[in-house]
Structure formats: structure tokens, C-alpha cells
Chains A and B, each alone.
Chain A
Amino acid sequence: MRGQVGVMFEVTTEPLDARRAESAVTHARAGAISTFTGIVRDTSRGRTVTHLEYEAFAEMATAQMRKIAAEIADRWPETRVAMAHRTGRLEIGEASVVVSVSAPHRAAAIAACQWGIDRLKESVPIWKKEHAADGTYWIEGDEAVKASS
């Protein structure tokens, strides 16, 4: 049902829990759940990364997440979607983003999850600041722009 498509949209400074997102999309007619978890890695563009900072326009970010969930529902019937993004300082190995989609069958769950994380990355107003060995950079699309602090 359309009203149940989006079940969890969060922007939070707390550590993310992929299992909680999966629990949110689980229901009796869902035979498959696909979950994507984005993790902070220690290198980027050939530089050593010490940690990341994420900044969000939180109210708009959760509104955009809801829109993406509605788009998923239009493309893949009977899906449920949960999305969570962390903000603030994140260390190497921590989860920055979780997208979980349930569907009756696996093909739809996997395709919808991939589409959901791609859309999130291009349209949800959350920014990544990379603290690297040689300075601090805002990551804007394919560009890394030196930050002032």
C-alpha cells in the first residue's frame, strides 16, 4: 500500500544500525530485503583519509528521501523503503548511510535498493568533508574542493 512505502527516514548523529532499517521494512508479504551500507574508507583519490564529516540540510534531506521512496514505489510495486544517513564526525569503518528495501521477490529488492542509493547520493542535500593527510576537502560530485578549515 502506498501509505506504507516509506517507513523510516532519518538524518542522525547516532551510529547507524542496518538491522533496524531491515526490521522497519520487514512484513509478511516481503520475500526479499536488499540493504546497502556505505562505509567510511581510509583512502580517497589516492590520499589517506583520517576521518570524515557529514553536514546535512536535515529537513530537506528527509523530504527528499520520502520522494525517492515514492519514486521507488512507482517503479517497483509492493516495496517498502528505509533510509538513514549519519552526520557529524565519522571514523574509518563506520557506516555513513543505509538504504534498505523490501519487495515480494529478490530482483525488485536489489534493483530498487541500487536505484535508491544512487538517487540519494545525487539529490539528497548532505555533504561530505574529507579530512585527508594533505588537508581538508569538500567532495562535490567528481570534484574535491579545498575547504577553509
Chain B
Amino acid sequence: MESMTVAVAIHTRLFARLREQAGIDAETVQVPERSTVEDVYAALRRAHPALESNLDAVRPAINQEFSDWDAVVGQGDEVAFIPPVSGGANTVPGVPANSRRRL
């Protein structure tokens, strides 16, 4: 038998339009070790298909710090998915545009 994949628990949070689309504001998801933020969002979308599919319209944050979509998550991390804020064009210094992709 292959070695078992270790799962980690990630505490997700959704706000504003994303919260309304999913119908929840928080959910703990299990993902394989070494999963990325994008994997976590994909897991949430499988459970809540109405969630925004365009990653350009969402910014992730790990433990309250904006992150890239390919950042790796660890056991117990809080991952928030953040729609654009009212005064911003969804650009934040330190998060290069080419780190954003579509699912």
C-alpha cells in the first residue's frame, strides 16, 4: 500500500460578496499536505459551486497577510478569501499581477 497522504486542516474565511455566494463565512477544509492557497480555494469551490471562479477578483491572505495563490499552507492556517475593496483596483504592492490566475 502507498504511504497515506497526510491531510492538514485549514480554517477558511469568506467576506462580503464571496460570503454571500457561498452562504457561509467560515469553514474548515481538509487538504493534502503541501497544498497551495489555490488548492484550498478549489476545495471550497467544490463544496460551494456558486463561489467566484475568476481568481483575478479574489485576493488570498494567510494568517492576515496577503499572499500569492501558490503559497503553501500548513496545519491550522487561517486562509481568508478577499474580494476587491471599495477604493482599490485589486492591486496590492508585493503581490505581482502574474501571481493571479484563473481556475
Do A125 and B17 touch (CB < 8 A)?
no
Interface centre among B19, B85, B91 (most CB of A within 10 A): B85
CA distance A120 to B94 in the complex (A): 16
Point out the residue from B16, B20, B64, B92 that lies within 8 Å of A122, measured CB to CB: B92
Instruction: Name B56-76 residues within 8 Å CB distance of A.
Output: 57, 61, 64
A-B CB pair tally, cutoff 8 Å: 71
Q: Is the interface of A mostly helix, strand, loop or mixed?
A: mixed
B: interface residue count bin: 20 to 34
Interface residues of B (CB under 8 A from A): 13, 15-17, 19-21, 57, 61, 64, 80, 82-92
19 intermolecular pairs with C-beta atoms under 8 Å apart: A55-B19, A57-B15, A57-B80, A60-B61, A60-B80, A118-B87, A121-B87, A121-B88, A122-B87, A122-B91, A123-B88, A123-B92, A125-B15, A127-B16, A138-B16, A138-B83, A139-B86, A141-B88, A148-B21
